[in-house]
Chains A and B, each alone.
Chain A
Amino acid sequence: MSIKGKAYIAGIYEHPTRLAKDISLAQIHAQVAKGALEDAGLTKDDVDGYFCAGDAPGLGPMSMVEYMGLKPRHVDSTDTGGSSYLLHVAHAAEAIAMGKCKVALITLAGRPRAEGMATGTVPRSRGGTPTPDEPFEFPYGPTVVNMYAMCAMRHMHEFGTTSEQLAWIKVAASHHAQYNEHALLRDVVTVEDVVNSPMISDPLHRLDCCVITDGGGAIVVVAPEIAKSLKRPKVKLIGAGEFVKTQMGGKVDLTYSGARFSGATAFAEAGVKPSDMKYVSIYDSFTITVLMQLEDLGFCEKGKGGKLVADGNLISGTGKLPFNTDGGGLCSNHPANRGGLTKVLEAVRQLRGEAHPKVQVKNCDLALAHGTGGSLGLRHGSGTVILERE
């Protein structure tokens, strides 16, 4: 049993806003749902599966099902933070393969910018009954940025990775973002700009960090017979993998991520290898996130990521491994502080040939989207999907 070829991505939509002062959270979820269904050529009444994660208001899927007037016979509110939507795509395909639904809608929305949330630099307790890890971590001040920074610090220590190599990741993203009219940051930056930007948490500078934006996106995953009846280019799911990586009872190793396992699972299911990929969407909460995931997915040997990403190698048109051609989380959008869904969107645009002409990869028929949710340095959920244009 495999999901290979059992489901297609028929509709996508990314909300154009990056600051949603006058739109409610539920409203954004509904707007992106409407956009993705219209893109697919489907209607709300066609939806029989609904997927959302912790960014949706209410308990699991229930409030949004009610708000949008859905009648799903299959729901899933798996939450692995920002990677949730990669898992949702895979789980939707599983549900479709099992006959549990035919048209699965996945939505994401958030307003951290409008709400003035201190996203990356303030330690946050989840409140309520503490998680078992919380008393042993929270009082020490773990933030989003310093826990990723510790991964970068150890990577530099073990492999000699440099700040300049990490900076190339942001430089490549900025080259792409200049063509995205909705991107929050559209100025092309240099390696010097990145390494001279203020230090946030050593060794990560401000420009090593992703943007904080409002907005959202949606994906419609459908059964093969539905995909055949629609007019949009066909984007088929051929492999998926997921993994939760932890501190392993005190044997934590910060030099690799769960991508090592989610990627291997996805490549095995798809029957393809990293070098077959024409385009990759790689979660870019920070520059180090990209570098480690590329290594762990098998695009280079462990420890050689610095060389892989340097000298413009990730820039579409000139580099060998075009990535995040929408500008990614580093420049364009990181709605709800969860960047996994937008990773799928740009991969689908590339496979459809609908990316911006300046960044469109020629003959793009195989693409990968990968996400890391939670904290790379504490515990995180990894999700990988491999997509093929039919």
Chain B
Amino acid sequence: MADTKERKLPAPVASPETQAYWDAAAQGKLLIRKCTSCGELHHYPRTICPFCFSDKTEWIEASGKGTIYSYSVMRRAPVPYAMAYVTLAEGPRMVTNIVDCDFDKLKCEQPVKVVFKPTEGNGPPLPMFTPA
């Protein structure tokens, strides 16, 4: 089983552009950015759409559901952890970790759901995923 030892997570550094994302994470909500001009969702969040370059973007709340696109268990670490890309139900893929599970049973395309994990120094919590 994973997480038998404590793994310390560095706090993400918020910027004026992304403060709302981290504030929402502290409330247990996963936000993604939507362009109201072309309709595309993107991640990581930007104020200018990386697809059509419109500045008409807004926050929407994700369902927190997704599937594992790919993963790798970092064995050579003081506390092994599972690096992953998760494809959100809404579409975008995000860099994350898979936690609270048996790493040896992970598979691509496995359904997962979001959980939030505390970071060092009372930083914003990180959205991670666990088998659904």
Contacts and interface: CB of A to CB of B under 8 A. Distances in A.
Interface of A: 121, 125, 130, 132-143, 145-147, 149-154, 157, 198-204, 247-252, 254, 378
Contacts of B73: 201-202
B108 A153 contact: yes
A338 B89 CA distance: 37
Interface of B: 9-15, 17-18, 22, 32, 40-44, 46, 50-51, 69-77, 81, 83-85, 91-97, 108-109, 119, 126, 128
A151 B83 CA distance: 12
A139 B12 contact: yes
A135 B9 CA distance: 12
Given A132-B44, A136-B95, A121 B71 contact: no
Contacts of A133: 44
A135 to B, nearest CB: 4
B74 A153 contact: no
A252 B13 CA distance: 23
Contacts of A251: 92-93
A140 B95 contact: yes
Given A142-B95, A250-B41, A250-B93, A150 B76 contact: no
Contact of B97 (A141, A149, A252): A141
A198 B14 CA distance: 37
Contacts of B81: 141
A201 B75 contact: yes
Given A139-B12, A146-B83, A121 B77 contact: yes
Contacts of A139: 9-12, 119, 126
Contacts of A203: 72
A154 to B, nearest CB: 4
A150 B93 contact: no
Contacts of A130: 13, 15
Interface centre among A130, A151, A157 (most CB of B within 10 A): A157
A346 to B, nearest CB: 29
A132 B12 contact: no
Given A135-B15, A136-B94, A249 B77 contact: no
Nearest to B119: A139
Contacts, number: 120
A202 B72 CA distance: 5
A134 B44 CA distance: 10
A25 B44 CA distance: 37
Contacts of B22: 135
Contacts of A157: 70, 108-109
A158 to B, nearest CB: 8
Given A130-B13, A136-B12, A136-B43, A146 B18 contact: no
Contacts of A132: 15, 17, 44, 46
Nearest to B42: A249
A249 B50 contact: yes
29 contacts: A132-B46, A135-B12, A135-B15, A135-B18, A135-B44, A139-B9, A139-B11, A140-B95, A140-B96, A140-B97, A141-B83, A145-B74, A146-B72, A147-B72, A153-B71, A153-B72, A153-B108, A154-B108, A157-B108, A157-B109, A201-B73, A247-B95, A249-B42, A249-B51, A249-B92, A250-B91, A250-B94, A251-B92, A378-B95
Contacts of B75: 198-202
B74 A121 contact: yes
A31 B86 CA distance: 47
A250 B42 contact: yes
Contacts of B42: 249-250
B69 A254 contact: yes
Contacts of A141: 74, 77, 81, 83, 97
Contacts of A201: 72-76, 83
Contacts of B95: 136-137, 140, 142, 247, 378
A200 B94 contact: no
A324 B16 CA distance: 47
Contacts of A153: 70-72, 108
A140 B72 CA distance: 12
A133 B94 CA distance: 11
Contact of A200 (B15, B76, B91, B119): B76
B129 to A, nearest CB: 11
A249 B13 contact: no
Contact of B74 (A135, A143, A154): A143
